[in-house]
Amino acid sequence: MIREFIGNTPLRHCDALSTRYHTNIFIKEEFHNPGMSAKDRPALFMIEDAIAKKKIKPGGIFVEASSGNTGLGITLIAKKLGYRAKIFVSQSCSTEKIDLLIKAGADIEICENSNGLHDFNSTQFRAQSFASTHPNAYFTNQYYNTQNIRAHYKTTGPEIWKQTEGSITHFIAGVGTGGTISGAGRFLKEQRPNIKIWGIEPNGSILGHFLKQRTLPNDTTAFDPIEGIGRNFIPGSFDAAYVDHIFQVNCHETKRMANEYYSQTGIMTGFSSAAVIAALDRYADKMGFSKTDIVVLFFPDHGDRYISKLYNEHIHRPTPLQTSRHFNF
């Protein structure tokens, strides 16, 4: 069953980053999950919870609003358990992720934005209205479902604690719904209260502002398009109590770091993973790591689903070979 393959992902030491930032950097590689992202974890918890609480009957439709990864996790798990999946994705979703969703058997709809439940054209509003107007459909609603945080509290946090043998000093992850940082962050803080839990978001996203001031900024319109992270509303899955600080990076430096890291290491990071590296680069002085720190970076997915957005600049396909020959008999 697919369940057995979710979680227990590797944590690897990264020589290149450790040398560059004079500390010990480890990477939690979430692309080893079946849907090749961290979001399989909350997808499994949300689906199992809905089934256990009889919120959906066999053969029903799981509905989700997603930048792609949660949708893929929901679809793969739902299908395996005899359910269907209807996924509302924003038009900013990479073509690779859309192809993966279709291949997995999701029924997808592409929406204008993911601006939250108050916006008629958003993935969340449309997912909510679909679920409320179709019988036996259940909106898993990752932005407000407590199982999202719980999945990371029960699995991601404990795995990292065990893998670092309790020596982790910093946990750094991108913030989208907030589930990862809130769930893993809470578990890790309970083990070591002085651990640093840092989030990364794109320029213009409002979670960092909210964390510092506990108010919304006046302007909540646009944020840099780094797929999977950044919000212009405060999701219920974001629990500010376990986050120490949120750093902002821009899309341009993220793309640059993704390509730089790829040439240096041969590893293609996902978009939001590259944002974490970009944050190290920009804020290394402020972060002030020491030689003995144990820093864990959370990489939610892999770069192969962002070739068209992140890595396509130097790809020039050869023209088809000239195969026609003219024989004169």
Site residues (vs ligand PMP, CB under 6 A): 37, 39, 67, 69, 174-180, 228-229, 270, 272, 300-301
**What is the helix (H) or strand (E) element at residue 262, kind and residue range?**
helix 251-265
Please, what is the minimum distance in Å from the beta carbon of residue 263 to ligand PMP?
A: 22
Shortest Å distance, C-beta 37 to ligand PMP: 6
The residue at minimum Cβ distance from ligand PMP is: 228
Supply the DSSP string of 74-125, one letter for each residue: HHHHHHHTT-EEEEEEETTS-HHHHHHHHHHT-EEEEESB---TT-TTBHHH
Sheet holding 61-66, edge to edge: 107-111, 84-90, 61-66, 137-139
**Considering the complex, what minimum distance in angstroms separates the CB of residue 228 from ligand PMP?**
3
Q: Looking at beta carbons only, is 76 or 229 nearer to ligand PMP?
A: 229
Based on CB atoms, which residue is closest to ligand PMP, 236 or 270?
Answer: 270
Please say which residue, 60 or 300, places its beta carbon nearer to ligand PMP.
Answer: 300
Task: Select 116 or 300, whichever has its Cβ closest to ligand PMP.
Answer: 300
When the beta carbons of 126 and 309 are compared against ligand PMP, the nearer one is: 309
**Quick one: 147 or 177, whose CB is closer to ligand PMP?**
177
Question: What is the spatial distance between Cα 55 and Cα 65, in angstroms, rounded to a whole number?
Answer: 18
The least distance separating ligand PMP from the CB of residue 50, rounded to whole angstroms, comes to 18
**Residue 216: what are its φ and ψ, rounded to 5°?**
-95, 145
Residue with tokens 């992140």: 310
Minimum Å gap between C-beta 240 and ligand PMP is 13
d(CA 194, CA 284): 19
- What six digits make up the tokens of 321? 């070979």
* Least gap, CB of 301 to ligand PMP (angstroms): 5
- To which residue do tokens 């909510």 refer? 128
